[in-house]
């Protein structure tokens, strides 16, 4: 198990997450899924707190690996922790895909459904091509 680092001052800068265009999409874009305050409903809205908790745990694991490298830990131990992080991120991605399919695609207005399906399949393709 990795030890948690309590300091947040040495957090790494955000890297390109491979989600082309996602950063450019306005948060309140009209996508046919209007929710509270005219913000679109997101597929992860119901489980947002759980998603954020998982991502904080993953962030802690990454900081733990940074510490392992700083401590010159055995390569296989570091690689084992990297594999655990990748599995955790895969689980997060699968949950996001599921929510997107059930909410953003299935509940979209009919004229947007084809575009949403194409976006979903492109995201699946990006996830499968990594590695």
pLDDT at 23: 40
pLDDT at 19: 40
29 in a structural domain? no
Distance, CA of 62 to CA of 57 (rounded, Å): 9
pLDDT at 131: 57
Distance, CA of 80 to CA of 9 (rounded, Å): 26
8 in a structural domain? no
30 in a structural domain? no
Q: What is the CATH number of the domain that holds 123?
A: 1.20.58.1000
41 in a structural domain? no
Give me the domain span that covers residue 90. 46-129
pLDDT at 64: 97
Which residues of the chain register pLDDT less than 70? 1-39, 131
pLDDT at 130: 75
């Amino acid at each position: 198990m990795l030890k948690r680092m309590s300091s947040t001052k040495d957090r790494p800068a955000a890297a390109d997450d491979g989600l082309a265009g996602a950063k450019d999409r306005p948060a309140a874009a009209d996508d046919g899924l209007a929710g509270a305050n005219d913000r679109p409903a997101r597929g992860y809205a119901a489980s947002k707190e759980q998603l954020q908790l998982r991502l904080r745990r993953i962030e802690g694991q990454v900081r733990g690996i940074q510490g392992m490298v700083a401590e010159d830990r055995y390569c296989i131990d570091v690689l084992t922790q990297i594999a655990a992080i990748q599995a955790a991120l895969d689980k997060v991605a699968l949950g996001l895909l599921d929510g997107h399919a059930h909410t953003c695609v299935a509940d979209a207005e009919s004229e947007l459904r084809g575009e949403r399906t194409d976006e979903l399949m492109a995201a699946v393709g990006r996830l499968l091509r990594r590695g």
